[in-house]
Amino acid sequence: MNNILPINYPENTRIHVALHVNNLQRSIDFYRILLGREPTKVREGYAKFELENPSLNLALNENSNLKPATEGLSHFGIEVELTETVLEATKKFEKSGLQVHSQEEVTCCYAVQDKVWVNDPDGNSWEIFVVTQKNAAVCCGEQTEESLTACC
C-alpha cells in the first residue's frame, strides 16, 4: 500500500451517495429540510438532489423491502466553518419538527466539535458539525461503546 498515487479530480467533481429508502416521499421531505433545496429530479421510485456547496449528488432509490440502516454504515455529515451555522441548522430542524440531538464542545475523532444530529426516515444519522479545535488528545471523550459507535 505504499504506492498511493494521487488522483487529480477536476474542480467540478462532486461526491455521489445513493441511498435505498422505504418511503420516497418521506425521504424527499426530510432531505429538503436537511439540504435546504428541492430535488433536481423526481421520478417514480427515484429522486436526486444535486448540490454545489457542499458538492454532492444524492440519489434516493425507493425500496419498500428495506431493512433498518446497515451495520457497516456509521453516519453521514456536513462539516461547516462556523458554530453559528450549526445553531442555525438546529433551529431550522426543530422548527421543521425533526428530533435533534445537539452537542457542544464534544471530543470526537481527535478533534473538538459543535454538532447537531438528525435521523432520516430510514434511521440514517446525519450531523452538521464545526471543528473548534483540530487536535484533541482522545478520540471520543471517555470512549464508551456508545460514543465510539456514534462518533468514530
For residue 66, give the DSSP letter: P
pLDDT, residue 76, reads 92
Render 13-54 in DSSP notation, one character per residue. Answer: --EEEEEEES-HHHHHHHHHHHHTS--SEEETTEEEEEETTT
Which residues does 5 contact at the CB level (< 8 Å), separation at least 6?
Answer: none
pLDDT digits (tens, 9 = 90+) for 103-124: 999 888 788 999 999 999 998 9
pTM of the predicted structure, to 2 decimals: 0.78
- The domain segmentation of the chain, as residue ranges, is 10-65, 74-152
pLDDT of residue 107: 86
- Mean pLDDT lowest for which of 6-10, 70-74, 104-108, 139-143? 139-143
Matching fold, domains 10-65 and 74-152: yes
d(CA 39, CA 7): 30
For the chain, what's the residue count?
152
Q: Name the band, by pLDDT with cuts 50, 70 and 90, for residue 148.
A: very low
How far is Cα 124 from Cα 34, in angstroms, rounded to an integer? 12
The CATH-assigned architecture of domain 10-65 is Roll (3.10)
Q: What is the CATH number of domain 74-152?
A: 3.10.180.10
